């Protein structure tokens, strides 16, 4: 069975400092992994996805994530946080079975302080 | 480009009443998914349609829940005899249908059962 664990429920950073949101996954086969962001009162938006191509994946708004099979991790990073990055972030693994049933982590709430 | 739309955005109902939600996917997308998100948690898969065929239902989807996609376009999710535990955000997503494709989410319908 597939699952994801987001290691931090809350992360707080200062504007302009790096962001690191941690995610570990469990999968019985080569997974597809995603990061989605959810701003208050807005729908889920895809930040980036890994689908067995390059292990370093670049997404929107300066975010990137690195797939590390040996560590079963898919951490999300950004070099410099912006106030607009404050939101809930979800690490997601594809459930497989020939279609993309998504399995979400519990989420990490990112706060960005001036 | 119109994204996934959901109606209504908010619904307040009394326990025991029936409610119905609608989802309009992106027009050329043949896969449609329903998820449920409770406070402080990540979304959980409920059910999935390929065109008009409902191909999988989660164990979360009790007998009081029914979903349809009659013409392979819009979908409805009905909850009969609502309970307070049904209070949640109900999310709809759609995708083109290729393997490892991206799911695009609607803004959700927030249900409160009093």
From B8, B26, B30, B31, select the one nearest B90 (Cα to Cα). B8
Q: What is the DSSP letter of B103?
A: P
The predicted pLDDT at position A98 comes to 62
Among the listed residues A73, A50, A76, A53, the one whose alpha carbon sits nearest the alpha carbon of residue A65: A76
What is residue B99's predicted lDDT score, i.e. its pLDDT? 59
Least CA distance to B4: which residue of chain A? A43
Q: Kindly state the tokens that stand for B21.
A: 């939600």
More confident residue, B97 or B56: B56
Please, are residues B92 and B23 in contact by the beta-carbon 8 Å criterion?
A: yes
**Cβ(A57)–Cβ(A77) under 8 Å?**
no
Q: Which residues of A touch B23 (CB under 8 A)?
A: none
Q: What mean pLDDT comes out for the span A26-34?
A: 85
Q: Which helix (H) or strand (E) holds A81?
A: none
Say what the pLDDT of residue A51 is.
81
Q: Decide if pLDDT at B90 tops 80.
A: yes
pLDDT at A97: 62
Q: Is A86 exposed, middle or buried (0-12, 13-18, 19+ CB in 10 A)?
A: middle
3-class SS at A57?
strand
> What does the mean pLDDT of chain A come to?
92
**CB–CB of A50/A64 below 8 Å?**
no
Interval A47-101: pLDDT, tens: 999 987 788 999 999 999 999 999 999 999 999 999 999 999 999 998 766 666 8
Q: Give the pLDDT band (50/70/90) at residue B89.
A: very high
- Which pLDDT score is estimated for B1? 54
Q: How many helices (H) and strands (E) does chain B have?
A: 0, 11
Q: What is the token pair recorded at A22?
A: 């941690």
B-chain residues near A92 (CB < 8 A): 42
Nearest-CB residue to B45 (from A49, A101, A107): A101
Instruction: State pLDDT tens for residues A11-23.
Output: 999 999 999 999 9
Kindly state the tokens that stand for A108: 């990490």
Nearest chain B residue to A38, by CA = B107
Q: What is the pLDDT of residues B4-25, one digit of tens each?
A: 999 999 999 999 999 999 999 9
φ, ψ of residue A70 to 5 degrees: the values are: -65, -30
* pLDDT of A41 over the 90 cut: no
Nearest CA in chain B to A40: B107
Q: How confident is the model at residue A29 (pLDDT cuts 50, 70, 90)?
A: confident
Q: How far is CA B91 from the centre of its chain?
A: 5
A94's enclosing H/E stretch is strand A87-94
Contact B51, B69 (CB under 8 A): yes
């Amino acid at each position: 069975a597939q699952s994801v664990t987001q290691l931090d429920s809350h992360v707080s950073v200062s504007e302009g400092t790096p962001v690191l949101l941690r995610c570990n996954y469990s999968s019985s086969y080569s997974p597809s992994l995603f990061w989605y962001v959810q701003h208050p009162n807005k729908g889920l938006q895809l930040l980036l996805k890994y689908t067995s191509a390059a292990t370093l994946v670049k997404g929107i708004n300066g975010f990137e994530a690195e797939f590390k099979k040996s560590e079963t991790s898919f951490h999300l990073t950004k070099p410099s946080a912006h106030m607009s990055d404050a939101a809930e972030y979800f690490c997601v693994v594809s459930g497989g079975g020939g279609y993309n049933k998504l399995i979400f982590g519990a989420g990490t709430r990112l706060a960005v302080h001036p | 480009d119109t994204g996934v739309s959901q109606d209504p955005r908010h619904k307040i109902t009394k326990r025991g009443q029936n409610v119905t939600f609608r989802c309009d996917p992106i027009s050329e997308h043949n896969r449609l998914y329903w998820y449920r998100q409770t406070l402080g948690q990540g979304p959980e898969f409920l059910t999935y349609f390929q065109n008009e065929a409902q191909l999988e239902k989660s164990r979360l989807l009790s007998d009081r829940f029914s979903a349809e996609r009659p013409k392979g376009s819009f979908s409805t999710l009905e909850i009969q005899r609502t309970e307070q535990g049904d209070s949640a955000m109900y999310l709809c997503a759609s995708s083109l249908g290729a393997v490892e494709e991206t799911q695009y989410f609607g803004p959700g319908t927030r249900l409160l059962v009093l």
